[in-house]
């Protein structure tokens, strides 16, 4: 089995509702995203999945978040009942991308979201 990964980034603001501390105030991050995809077999060219295809599909998902106020659920309805935490952002990206990537022998295995080079979160399903 092969696992490929793609990196991208986006900028967005957020605030954590109900958080007792600085993160309750509006602030922003240059979010870094890494996605990991497992491929059970390779095609005739020796590829599991074309990097360009994954980059395009990931860009479609990230575009929904880029330069947005994630706390404004009118801009990103997913966050109406969820805090725009790194955990929920990773969940959002995973499920949006999963429907675009998964096919026979190809599976989105994990999405990692970092709000800095020192902290982040991964989301995956078992």
pLDDT for res 70: 95
pLDDT for res 126: 84
pLDDT for res 2: 94
What residue segments make up the domains of the chain, in order of their start?
Answer: 2-24+31-123
pLDDT tens readout for residues 51-87: 999 999 999 999 999 999 999 989 999 999 999 999 9
pLDDT for res 122: 98
pLDDT for res 52: 94
The dotted CATH code for 2-24+31-123 is: 3.30.479.10
- Of the candidates 23, 22, 49, the one whose C-alpha atom is nearest the C-alpha of residue 36 is 49
Among all residues, which ones are annotated catalytic? Answer: 23, 67, 115
Q: Identify the segments of the chain with pLDDT beneath 50.
A: none
Q: What does pTM read for this prediction?
A: 0.94
pLDDT for res 11: 97
**Contact assessment for residue 6 and residue 51, using Cβ atoms and an 8 Å cutoff:** yes
């Amino acid at each position: 089995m092969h696992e490929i990964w793609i990196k991208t980034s986006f900028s967005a603001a957020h605030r954590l509702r109900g958080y007792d501390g600085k993160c309750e105030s509006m602030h922003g991050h240059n979010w870094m995203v890494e996605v990991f995809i497992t491929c059970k077999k390779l095609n005739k060219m020796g590829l599991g999945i074309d990097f360009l295809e994954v980059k395009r599909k990931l860009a479609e998902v990230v575009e929904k978040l880029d330069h947005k106020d994630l706390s404004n659920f009118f801009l990103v309805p997913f966050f109406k009942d969820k805090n725009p935490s790194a955990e929920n952002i990773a969940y959002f990206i995973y499920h949006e991308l999963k429907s675009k990537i998964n096919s026979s022998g190809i599976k989105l295995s994990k999405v990692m979201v970092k709000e800095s080079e020192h902290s982040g979160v991964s989301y995956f399903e078992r």
